[in-house]
Chain A
Amino acid sequence: MEINGIAAIGAGLSAIGAGIGIGMIGGKALEAMARQPEHSGMIQTNMFIAAALVEGVALFGVVVALMQG
């Protein structure tokens, strides 16, 4: 299927996934930090781990888009 720019659409879709995922992670982390401020450090660490894993998956999509277009 030769559609110009479909690779860019694919990259944009995977960015939507990353945005939703990391937004939810950040939101839940902030909620948890508000409920228990004394554990902020641990919550922040785990937030970064989860965000990096979600972003890794989204970047698979970006890499495939880069290879295609």
Chain B
Amino acid sequence: MKKTVSKLIITSLLVFVSVVSIFAENQSSKEEGFNPTPQILHHIADSYEWHLWGSVSIPLPVILYSEGNWDIFMSSSFNHGKSKIIIGDRIYMIDHDHTSPTHHQIIEQNDKKFTNLSITKNVASMILSTLLLLFILGKTSRGYKRKQAAPKGLQSFLEPIILFVREDIIKSNIGPKHEKYTMFLLTVFFFILINNLLGLTPGAANVTGNISVTFVLSMFTFVIITFSANKGYWKHLIKPPGTPVALLPIMIPIEIFGVFTKPFALMIRLFANITAGHIIIFSLISLIFVASNNGENIVAGWSVAPISVLFVLFIFLIEILVAFLQAYIFTLLSAVFIGLAVKEESH
């Protein structure tokens, strides 16, 4: 056992040294290597077509509403940003100006205002995940209607998870009034979970890593907290119990600030965790392309590939844990905040 371990260490050190010497050979040529950043950012951003692999992509419909006219066309009409679409008196094109804030977005040349309701990659992925959720959870709930003795199949797999969310997250944090909020919290848990997990599959869209999506989810929590808060909650904002009067000028702005920072932190936490995970995975795969200088140095590429794939596998397992954990944390913190808002005064 000890002999094989030391042999393994020596062989891996030799591999590492040989790989490093190949890197040294590339650096002496003093030219810009392959920059993986644009590709990585392209993969985690939203887009008007669903890029699968190589040059295979599914074009998605672009739906624009401008001054009473619905302009609907496929995104392939843009020809990767080279063509302009002329419908009536409106000319649409993809903005190529690197300095403008609407870079890579659809603009209208005659400065007409339009609303962009397109089915982008994230929207299409959300529709798919919603249909998947409806199918899975619908099948589970129909199983309960049949009133069989013991659940089997999909039902038996989901029942512990649903019970865990309801007992440990919702009931224990909200208390007696948890019935009203169970629907929302269970939905948010499964929505975030399935979108996190789907985002890890090849060719998937980065839904929960899109800040607009997480903004809407945290907005739901904020609205629910605000509209279900009882008088005790608002009184606690103005006068937190147990603070000396001298501290009130500091506590009141902090408490009011806290009303907004708590949902804001929910949004940023989910967005940054998922996006950072995807960026790490893409960066480690890009190591292969950086080492082989985008196809020039095949030997270096092949020698880095096993190390890169091993690291990516390790990060992937962590990302599956993060997918569950982030869904759990979002639901848990939403339940805690709702519980704080509806808590009965205990004297």
Contacts between chains A and B (CB distance < 8 A), count: 35
Asked if B325 CB lies within 8 Å of chain A CBs, one says yes
* B168 pairs with A48, CB closer than 8 A: no
Asked if A27 CB lies within 8 Å of chain B CBs, one says no
Size category of the B interface is 10 to 19
Whole-angstrom distance between the alpha carbons of A55 and B333 in the complex? 14
Asked if B269 CB lies within 8 Å of chain A CBs, one says yes
Name the contact of A56 in the complex, choosing from B265, B276, B332, B336 (C-beta under 8 A): B265
A40 neighbours in B (Cβ, 8 Å): none
Of chain A, the residue at the smallest CB distance from B322 is: A55
Interface size on A, residues (CB 8 A): 13
The minimal Cβ–Cβ distance linking A23 to chain B, given in whole angstroms, is 16
Asked if B78 CB lies within 8 Å of chain A CBs, one says no
* B276 pairs with A62, CB closer than 8 A: yes
Of chain B, the residue at the smallest CB distance from A15 is: B276
* A59 pairs with B273, CB closer than 8 A: yes
Whole-angstrom distance between the alpha carbons of A45 and B325 in the complex? 11
Name the contact of B269 in the complex, choosing from A45, A55, A66 (C-beta under 8 A): A55
Chain B: residues with CB nearer than 8 A to chain A? 168, 265, 268-269, 271-273, 275-276, 325-326, 328-329, 332-333, 336
Instruction: Given A52-B326, A60-B265, output 8 extra A-B contacts at Cβ < 8 Å.
Output: A48-B329, A48-B332, A49-B329, A49-B332, A49-B333, A49-B336, A55-B269, A59-B269
Chain A: residues with CB nearer than 8 A to chain B? 45, 48-49, 52-53, 55-57, 59-60, 62-63, 66
